[in-house]
Chain A
Amino acid sequence: MLLNQFLLLSAVLFCIGVYGVLARKNGVLVLMSIELILNAVNINLVAFAALNTDALNTDVSGDVFALFTIAVAAAEVGIGLAIVLLIYRNRRSIDLSEIDLMKG
C-alpha cells in the first residue's frame, strides 16, 4: 500500500487551498480553494481507512467520515454561494478586497 503518495498529494492540495484562501480576492475562487482543502481531507481519510483495512480488520470509519465531509461541504458551499450572490446583487462586485465597510 503506497500511503505516502496519497498523503503527499493531499498535503499539496491542502497547501494550494490555504494559499488560495489567503491570496485570492475573488469570492468564488476562495470558495473553490476551500473545496480543495476539503478534498485534501477526503484523500487523507480514505487513504488512512485503506491502510487500516487488511485481511483481518475492516475499518470503515474513515470512509464514513469522508462521506459526511462531502455531504456537509456541499451544504456549506451552497450557503457560501448564496452569500456571494447576495453581495453581488447589492454591490455588483464579488471582489473581497472591496468589502471593507468595517475595519477589524
Chain B
Amino acid sequence: MLAGIAPVLAADGFVRPEIDWHAAAPELTLLGFGALITMIDIGWLERARRIAAPLASLALLATMVPIITLALAGDDRSMFDGGFVVDDYSLIMKAMFVLAGYVVVLMSTNYIAEGDYWENEYYGLLLSSILGMILMASARDLISIFVALELLSIPAYMLATWRKRDLKSNEAGLKYYLMGVFASAVMLYGMSLLYGATGSTLLVEINDAVGEAARPSAIVVLGIIFVVVGFAFKVSAFPFHTWAPDTYEGSPTPVTAFISVASKAAGFVALLNLVFVGFVGRDGLVGRDDIFEPLMWVLAAASMTAGNLMALRQTNMVRLLAYSGVAQAGYMLAPLAVAGSVPDKALTASVTYLVIYAAMNLGAFAVVIAVARKTRSAEVSTYRGLFHYAPGLTVAMTIFLFSLAGIPPLGGWIAKFRVMEALIEAETSAGVVLGVFVAVNSVIALYYYARVGFGMWAEEAPDGDLTPVNVPLSLGVALTLTAAITIAMGVIPGDIVGRFTDVSLLAGG
C-alpha cells in the first residue's frame, strides 16, 4: 500500500500547502512556551521551580494575544483544504480553553507547590493538554481531530496520576487511562469505517458523501455510532461515565477541575465539529440527522436523569460534582438532538452552555480547593456551618451551585434557557419531550445543590471549629474571575452571551 505514496510526491501536481502563520499563531505560541518550560525543567532542575507557574500563566496570556488579533481581523481562515479552520466559533472555544487553563494554573499554584512532588513538569503537561484543546477547536478533519484528542488526553492521564505514591491517585489515573484509551480506540474504529464509506477524512467531504443516499448504509451507521460513543466517554455521558467519579475523587483537585471542565469541553467541541460539519444536513440535503439525532437524544436524556439521580445520594463534594457533571453533559448534549431541525440555534445553545459551564464549574472546584486547605477533606458534611467562618467562600459557593442548578439571574439560567429555546423551536415532539426532561431534571438537581447550600448557611460548624480558611492570592483571583463571569453572563446576557456566543461554524473549505 505504501507504494501509493510515491507517485503522489513524484507527480508534478504536488503543491506545498499554503501556511497561514497568523491562523496557526495561538497553537505555535503555546507550543513554544510548553517546550520552553520542559527544557528549563530539564536544564535547571530545582532552580526552575520558582518560575514554572508564572511562566505557565505568561504562556496562556501570550496565547490570548494572537486569538484576540485573529478575532479583530474578523475574517474566516482555512488551511489544508479546510482541515484546519479559524472562524469565530473556533476562536471563542480557543479563548475559553486558554482562560480555563489560566484559572487552573491559578488554582494549582499553591496546591502543587505544597505537595512534595516535582512541580515543573506539571505545567509543561498542562500546557500541552491545552494545546490539544485549542487545536481541537480548529480541527475539521478526522486525522487532526484524532491527534488533537490524544494530545489533550495523554498529558491528562499523567496529571491524574500526579501524586504517584498515593494509591487513590494511581487508581484515578489508571481508570481514566483505561477508559480513555478504550474510548479512543473504539472512536478510531468508527473513524476508519467513516473513512472507508466516504473515501475522505475531511469532515466537509464526509458530509457530502454520507448525505447522498436516502437510506444510510450499515457502515455509515456503525461509523457514526462508534465515533459518537467514543466522545461520549470523553464528555462522561451516561452510560459511559463510570470513570468520572473515581478519577475526580482520586486526582489532585486542580486536575479534577481541569478534566471536568476543559477536557469535557474539548470532547464537546469535537462532537460539535463532527455533527455540524460532518453529519448535519446542509444546503437542502438531509445529511445524517436520522442517525445522530436519536443517538444524542438517548444519550442526553439518560445522562441528565441518571446523573442527577446518582448525585442525590453522594456524600463527597467532588463525587457530587462528578455526577452533577454527568447531568450537565446531558443538558449540553440536548441541543444536538435537534441539530438537524434548528442547526444555528442548537450550535449557539451548546456553545453558550459550554462557556458558562466552564466558569461555574471551575469556580465550584476552586471553592472545594479552598475549603480543603482547612478541612483536608471534601466530604459534604465538612461544609456545614461554612458561613460562620468563611462567609466569602460561602457566598461564592452558593453562586456557583445555584448557577449550576439554573436559578436566575445567574449564568446557568441563561444557559438552560438557550437549550430549552432550541429544543422548543425545533417543533418536533422529540424536542419537546427532551425539553420536559430538562425541566424535570433541573428540579431534581436543585434538591442536592440546595442541600449543600442549606448546610453552609444554616447549620453549625462540626466541632465548633471557627478558624478562618486561609485563601492564597492566586486562588482568590481564580474565584473572583469565575464568579464575575458567572454573574455577568446571567445579569447582562444580551451584551455578553449574545455578542460572544452567537457564532456560526465555517463549514466550507
Contact residues of A with B, CB < 8 Å? 10, 14, 17-18, 21, 27, 30, 34, 37-38, 40-41, 44-53, 58-65, 68-69, 72, 75-76, 79-80, 82-84, 86-87, 90-91, 96, 99-104
Stretch at the interface among B32-40, B90-98, B192-200, B437-445: B192-200
Q: How far apart sit A51 and B425, CA to CA, in the bound complex (Å)?
A: 44
Which residue of chain A lies nearest to B250 when distances are taken between CB atoms in the complex? Answer: A102
B161 close to A83 (CB less than 8 A) = yes
In the complex, what residues of B have CB within 8 A of residue A45's CB?
192, 195
A65 close to B249 (CB less than 8 A) = no
Sorted nearest first, the 9 A-B pairs with minimum C-beta distance are A48-B196, A44-B192, A37-B185, A102-B246, A41-B188, A72-B150, A61-B201, A104-B246, A41-B192
B490 within 8 A of A: no
A102-B250, A104-B242 known; A72+B186 contact, CB < 8 A: no
Which residue of chain B lies nearest to A3 when distances are taken between CB atoms in the complex? Answer: B196
A30-B178, A38-B188, A104-B246 known; A64+B171 contact, CB < 8 A: no
Chain B interface, >50% SS class: helix
Contact residues of B between 243 and 278, Cβ < 8 Å to A: 243-246, 249-250
A48-B192, A83-B170 known; A102+B245 contact, CB < 8 A: yes
B5 within 8 A of A: yes
1/0 per residue, CB under 8 A from A, across B156-178: the answer is 01100100110110111111011
B173 close to A83 (CB less than 8 A) = yes
7 contacts between A and B (CB under 8 A): A34-B181, A41-B188, A46-B1, A62-B201, A64-B143, A79-B157, A101-B168
A51 close to B174 (CB less than 8 A) = no
Contact residues of B between 1 and 34, Cβ < 8 Å to A: 1-2, 4-5, 7-8
Q: How far apart sit A80 and B249, CA to CA, in the bound complex (Å)?
A: 20
**Best-buried of B7, B165, B173, B178 by chain A (most CB within 10 Å):** B178
Given A52-B199, A60-B4, A87-B170, 17 more pairs with CB closer than 8 A: A30-B178, A48-B196, A49-B4, A58-B8, A65-B143, A68-B146, A72-B146, A80-B177, A82-B158, A83-B170, A83-B177, A86-B173, A99-B171, A100-B171, A102-B249, A102-B250, A104-B245
B185 close to A65 (CB less than 8 A) = no
In the complex, what residues of A have CB within 8 A of residue B250's CB?
101-102
Q: How far apart sit A97 and B60, CA to CA, in the bound complex (Å)?
A: 40
In the complex, what residues of A have CB within 8 A of residue B195's CB?
45, 48, 61-62, 65
B174 close to A72 (CB less than 8 A) = no
B339 within 8 A of A: no
Identify A60's interface contact among B8, B174, B243, CB under 8 A.
Answer: B8
A40-B189, A65-B142 known; A91+B167 contact, CB < 8 A: yes
Q: How far apart sit A68 and B82, CA to CA, in the bound complex (Å)?
A: 19
A51-B196, A83-B161, A104-B243 known; A76+B1 contact, CB < 8 A: no
In the complex, what residues of B have CB within 8 A of residue A72's CB?
146-147, 150
Q: How far apart sit A72 and B146, CA to CA, in the bound complex (Å)?
A: 9
B182 within 8 A of A: yes
Which residue of chain A lies nearest to B243 when distances are taken between CB atoms in the complex? Answer: A104
Q: How far apart sit A65 and B168, CA to CA, in the bound complex (Å)?
A: 36
A82 to chain B, nearest CB (A): 8
**Best-buried of B4, B147, B150, B173 by chain A (most CB within 10 Å):** B4
A58 close to B196 (CB less than 8 A) = no
In the complex, what residues of B have CB within 8 A of residue A47's CB?
196
In the complex, what residues of A have CB within 8 A of residue B8's CB?
58, 60
B491 within 8 A of A: no
A80-B181, A104-B245 known; A58+B170 contact, CB < 8 A: no
Q: How far apart sit A16 and B175, CA to CA, in the bound complex (Å)?
A: 21
Q: How far apart sit A12 and B175, CA to CA, in the bound complex (Å)?
A: 26
A83 close to B7 (CB less than 8 A) = no
